[in-house]
Amino acid sequence: MSVSGFHAHVRAVTAMSPLQFQKQLQPKRIVVTEFPSIEQARRGYDSEEYRALKALRLRTARGSVVLVEGI
């Protein structure tokens, strides 16, 4: 994803520039992943293959998962 594409995605989701978003929420990292559909994103998140990794992530990191459709 290009820098301008990333900025457009962040603005579409948050109505802020990436810098404004970082200043407001103070995240230490942002991970953006694109899926062909919201259904595939949900299936991946709830899949047996991801279950062990999700458990590890939940035990060792603070964070939020946000699914956005239609960007």
pLDDT tens digits for range 26-46? 667 778 888 999 999 999 999
Q: Can you tell me whether residue 14 is helix, strand or coil?
A: helix
Query: What's residue 54's pLDDT?
Result: 92
Query: What's residue 26's pLDDT?
Result: 66
Token digits of residue 10: 């962040």
Tell me, what DSSP letter sits at residue 15?
Answer: S
Q: Where are the alpha helices (DSSP H) in 29-68?
A: 38-45, 48-60
Q: What is the pLDDT of residues 7-28, one digit of tens each?
A: 888 888 888 888 888 788 766 7
Query: What's residue 43's pLDDT?
Result: 94
Q: What is the pTM of this model?
A: 0.54
Cα gap 66→69, rounded to integer Å: 10
